């Protein structure tokens, strides 16, 4: 199975002080141990990781530092990682559960994952059809 990580999974995994750091890290380790499973990232979650990291640190972390942290995270995935080019339009038909600005990225990433026979992996219970990390 291929799993596209959303922003919240990357942020939780990347920062040890995040409430879901252990949960995300344990699940990622289990995917890496499974033969044939891959962890995917794409531009939107990667950019989201940088944005949230800089914002939540109130400027103590620069975009370059957040990008370097993300690069190190992805490097640890080795052959278990794949980068998914975003070939879905932003003009898509929006699902009924996408009722506000805060859900547009979730809906887009779910569509992208499904278009590539992957699961959108998330910590967010509010994304119908996504894989909720245990």
- Which class in CATH covers the domain with range 2-132? alpha beta
Higher local confidence (pLDDT), 88 or 122 = 122
pLDDT digits (tens, 9 = 90+) for 29-64: 999 999 899 999 999 999 999 999 999 888 899 999
Q: State the pTM of this model.
A: 0.91
CA-based torsion, 63, 68, 74, 79: positive or negative:
positive
DSSP letters of 73-126? HHHHHGGGEEE------TTPPPPTT--SGGGHHHHHHHHHHHHTT-EEEES-TT
Question: Taking 80 as the threshold, does the pLDDT of residue 109 lie above it?
Answer: yes
């Amino acid at each position: 199975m291929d799993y596209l990580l959303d922003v919240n999974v990357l942020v939780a995994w990347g920062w040890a002080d995040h409430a879901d750091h252990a949960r995300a890290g344990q699940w990622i380790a289990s995917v890496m141990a499974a033969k044939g499973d891959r962890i995917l990232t794409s531009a939107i979650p990667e950019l989201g990781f940088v944005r949230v990291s800089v914002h939540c640190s109130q400027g103590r972390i620069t975009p370059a530092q957040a990008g370097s942290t993300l690069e190190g995270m992805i490097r640890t995935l080795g052959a278990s990682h794949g980068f998914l080019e975003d070939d879905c339009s932003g003009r898509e038909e929006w699902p009924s559960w996408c009722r506000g600005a805060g859900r547009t990225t979730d809906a887009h990433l779910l569509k992208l994952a499904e278009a590539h026979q992957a699961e959108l992996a998330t910590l967010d219970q509010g994304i119908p059809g996504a894989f909720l990390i245990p």
